[in-house]
Amino acid sequence: MQNFISGIAGFFTRLKSIHPLLPWGIALVVLLPLPQFTVNNYQVYLINFICIMIILATGLNIVKGFAGQVTVGHVALYAIGAYTSAVLSTKFGMPFYVNLPVSILAAMIAGVLVGIPSFRLEGAYLALATLAFAQAVEVYIRVTNYLGAASGIGGIKAPEFFGYSLRKYDDYFYLVMPIMLAAVYASFAILRSATGRAFMAVREDPISAASMGINVRRYKLIAFVMSAFYAGLAGSLYAHMLPGYVHPNNFTVIEMVTVLLMVVLGGIGNIWGGVIGAIIVTIVADITREYYFYQLLLFGAVIVGTVLFMPKGIGGIIDRYFVNRRFIAAREETAEVKRGIVGGSPDESSG
Q: Residues 174, 191, 302, 180: what is their CA dihedral angle, to the nearest 10 degrees?
A: 0
**65 and 182 together in one domain:** yes
Predicted confidence at residue 163, as pLDDT, reads 86
**163 and 266 together in one domain:** no
Choose the weakest-confidence range: 226-230, 248-252, 318-322.
Answer: 318-322
Choose the weakest-confidence range: 210-214, 236-240, 288-292.
Answer: 288-292
Geometric angle at alpha carbon 139, from 138 and 143, rounded to 5°: 120
**181 and 268 together in one domain:** no
For residue 54, give its domain range: 48-251
Q: Of 221, 251, 281, which residue is a domain's last?
A: 251
Residue 348 lies in a domain: no
**216 and 293 together in one domain:** no
Q: How confident is the model at residue 349 (pLDDT cuts 50, 70, 90)?
A: very low
Residue 60 lies in a domain: yes
Instruction: Return the CA Rg of the chain.
Output: 23
- Other CB atoms within a 10 A radius of the CB of residue 2 amount to 9
Residue 41 lies in a domain: no
Handedness of CA 82, 46, 48, 272 (dihedral sign): positive
Per-position b or e across 272-299, b if 16+ CB within 10 A of its CB: ebbbbbbbbbbebbeeeeeeeeebeeeb
Closest CA to 263 of 81, 80, 124, 63: 63
- Greater confidence (332 vs 261) lies with 261
Q: Of 225, 251, 277, which residue is a domain's last?
A: 251
**327 and 284 together in one domain:** yes
Residue 105 lies in a domain: yes
For the stretch 238-289, pLDDT in tens is 999 999 999 999 998 889 989 999 999 998 888 988 999 999 999 999 998 8
Predicted confidence at residue 350, as pLDDT, reads 46
Closest CA to 256 of 338, 137, 160: 137
Q: Of 251, 275, 300, which residue is a domain's last?
A: 251
**141 and 283 together in one domain:** no
**213 and 320 together in one domain:** no
Single-letter amino acid, residue 173: F
Total domains present in the chain: 2
**194 and 279 together in one domain:** no
Whole-model pTM? 0.89
Strand 160-161 relative to strand 164-165: parallel, antiparallel, unpaired?
A: antiparallel
Predicted confidence at residue 351, as pLDDT, reads 42
Residue 30 lies in a domain: no
Residue 130 lies in a domain: yes
For the stretch 101-137, pLDDT in tens is 999 999 999 999 999 988 888 888 999 999 999 999 9
**261 and 221 together in one domain:** no
Residue 2 lies in a domain: no
**234 and 269 together in one domain:** no
Residue 345 lies in a domain: no
**158 and 215 together in one domain:** yes
Q: SS3 string of the chain?
A: CHHHHHHHHHHHHHHHHHCCCHHHHHHHHHHCCHHHHCCCHHHHHHHHHHHHHHHHHHHHHHHHHHCCCCCCCHHHHHHHHHHHHHHHHHHCCCCHHHHHHHHHHHHHHHHHHHHHHHHCCCHHHHHHHHHHHHHHHHHHHHHCHHHCHHHCECCCCCCEECCEECCCHHHHHHHHHHHHHHHHHHHHHHHHCHHHHHHHHHHHCHHHHHHCCCCHHHHHHHHHHHHHHHHHHHHHHHHHCCCCCECHHHHCHHHHHHHHHHHHHHCCCCHHHHHHHHHHHHHHHHHHHHHHHHHHHHHHHHHHHHHHHCCCHHHHHHHHHHHHHHHHHHHHHHHHHHHHHHHCCHHHHHC
**305 and 188 together in one domain:** no
